[in-house]
Homo-oligomer: A and B are copies of this chain.
Amino acid sequence: MDFAHSARARELIAQVREFVEQEIYPAETLHREQVEASGDPHHHPPVMEELKAKARAAGLWNLFLPDEEWGAGLSNLEYAPLAEWMGRSVIGSEPFNCNAPDTGNMEVLAQYGTREQQEQWLRPLLDGEIRSCFAMTEPDVASSDATNIRASIERDGDDYVLNGRKWWTTGAARKRCRLAIFMGKSNPEADTYRQQSMILVPLDTAGIEHVRNLQVFGFNEGEGHAEIQFTGVRVPADHLLQREGDGFAIAQGRLGPGRIHHCMRAIGMAERALELLCRRAAGRNAFGTELARQGVVREWIADARCELEQARLLVLKAAWMMDEVGNKEARKEIGMIKVVAPNTALRVLDRAIQLWGGAGVSQDTPMAQHWAHLRTLRLADGPDEVHRLQIARMELREQLANEPTDPVATALAPAHG
């Protein structure tokens, strides 16, 4: 295991950090004011375009994309600390064109798209001109079990016809959102993991109804989480990604890097909270003592540092494994960070909120919104419990692969079976 960074990566870390601290932090208030003034919580404010222009000019653009032709060609391990810095702000990823779900969609297009699909959709996405969404989760089933999916993709002549209801279609509430990657069952009679397909759907296609936007603990998140009804939506057959039945495999491939991004952003949110916790503790008294000198607060700080350090190392290990042995071999570690990072970050956030009191739960700090986002991460891409089950299954398989050498196990196993 070697987590050392190349010279290029170290330089990028310094640049992204400086950009976040010098450009993005100070723009947060203006961003909120511009959105509020628009009356639309999903408004794309001018300040964001200014930030994007600056970041792109500085060469900090599309860093997430490992593809060397289309993107920066960084490894997962190299990109991880950049994602951590971007994660420190609710508006910290989009200036670099590195925000979800567009990153995952661009990866899918770069990896699985035809040249035509790439020219039509990937190029404007990489240029930050349009946005996209990913229509997979459904309200009526436990979508963490992909075999539950009910939406249909049916061949009809030269077209596919799509039907189904999706929700938590992140990104779809934005006016600039033009494309949905839609997952549905095209071959319901095929083997379990060959029933699903993915297809590209322009959002202005007839039959798409934007039902409503979902709140997250009262927040209308900027990118928007939409509920969308697809009724007889007809798209040309060449919009399919790869071939019929490839949907599940593409979804799996999309997950790995996204997990690293989400988890490192979670750690970034927690690091910012820890910094805010320390600064507030140092500047406030209660009952005659500075908060930073009170034992309970010091325990919070120590525990936060211990937990964050461990979580980050685990994410780095997962990233390193993905780079070295591939997503498939790294899937236990990818599952582990999905559980560990958001939960760790939530604990850190909760302590920081507690110290900040009323300001912590309000719009005066980024912590309540970060908390709400992280709480939702415990559900997105499958709840913690599903990932724990899979980790356990892999662990059991490895543990039981060989006969025990421990007499405690050998002696008792048969007798007590």
Contact = CB atoms under 8 A, between A and B. Distances in A.
B409 A276 contact: yes
A302 B216 CA distance: 27
A193 interface: no
Nearest to A399: B278
A249 B354 CA distance: 27
Given A139-B416, A217-B217, A296-B295, A278 B396 contact: yes
Interface in A230-278: 272, 274-276, 278
Interface stretch (A21-29, A105-113, A183-191, A196-204): A21-29
Best-buried of A3, A369, A395 by chain B (most CB within 10 Å) = A395
A328 B286 CA distance: 24
Interface in A137-182: 137, 139-142, 144-145, 148, 167-168
A317 interface: yes
Contacts of A140: 415-417
A231 B406 CA distance: 31
Interface stretch (A95-103, A117-125, A307-315): A307-315
A154 to B, nearest CB: 23
A284 B143 CA distance: 11
Ordered nearest first, which 9 A-B pairs have the shortest CB separation?
A218-B218, A218-B219, A310-B310, A295-B295, A298-B392, A302-B388, A313-B313, A278-B399, A302-B391
